[in-house]
């Protein structure tokens, strides 16, 4: 399959191969810097995510690419579509906020139980209440996400990866294909690396 490429690789000198390796490493480093830069600008550890399930249909479908931001001053409200990640879980989840409760900074949020959360904040107090408790649910699910919270009664703002600001339909199917078939990912990366090494220009 790569016979001609391997022959060309043997004809190249060590200095040329080393230069191509450095160029390839530079491209990877540039991509990582762009990703980290986006994370800083959006205040999100994952500013771009791919929808992996159909739990948010018809709003989003499997393979859609979502763009997130997570400003530190963001106060979420019912109807917002957020991406959250529970400690210990490998994959973030994109679901809609169904219920919010503002918690005064003077109250320990860990002691704020579901029964206490029924009391609503008084008008004019929202600006003083930085902490929030959130309950989410997938648009295509019959029940809320409490079973997904791994023992937590509510999501806190620290669990939120970001709020969805835009999307591109089906663009993320390449990522899904590589996750479902790791051999495809390794073959693609290996092919790109080999082409970068034997490229003469």
Query: Annotated catalytic sites, by residue?
Result: 55, 95, 145
What phi and psi, each to the nearest 5 degrees, are found at residue 147? -65, -20
CA distance 166 to 58: 15
Q: How many helices (H) and strands (E) does the chain have?
A: 4, 7
Give kind and range of the element (H or E) at residue 36. Answer: helix 14-42
Residue 108, both tokens: 């320990």
**Which secondary-structure segment (H or E) carries 175?**
helix 173-180
Residues 6+ apart with CB under 8 A from 149: 86, 155
Provide the 10 A C-beta neighbour count for residue 164.
21
């Amino acid at each position: 399959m790569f016979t001609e490429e391997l022959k060309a690789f043997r004809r190249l000198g060590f200095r040329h191969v080393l230069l191509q390796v450095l160029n390839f490493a530079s491209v990877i480093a540039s991509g990582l810097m762009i990703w980290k830069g986006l994370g800083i600008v959006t205040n999100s550890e994952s500013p771009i995510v791919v929808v992996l399930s159909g739990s948010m249909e018809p709003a989003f479908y499997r393979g859609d690419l979502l763009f997130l931001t997570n400003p530190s001053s963001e106060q979420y409200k019912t109807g917002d579509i957020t991406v959250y990640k529970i400690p210990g879980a490998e994959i973030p989840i994109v679901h809609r906020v169904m219920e919010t409760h503002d918690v005064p900074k003077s109250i320990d949020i860990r002691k704020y139980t579901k029964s206490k959360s029924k009391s609503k904040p008084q008008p004019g107090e929202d600006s003083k209440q930085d902490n929030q408790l959130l309950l989410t649910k997938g648009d295509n699910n019959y029940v809320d996400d409490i079973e997904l919270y791994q023992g937590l009664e509510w999501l806190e703002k620290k669990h939120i990866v970001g709020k969805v600001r835009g999307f591109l339909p089906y663009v993320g199917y390449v990522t899904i294909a590589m996750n479902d078939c790791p051999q495809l990912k390794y073959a693609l990366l290996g092919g790109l690396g080999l082409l970068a090494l034997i490229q003469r220009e």
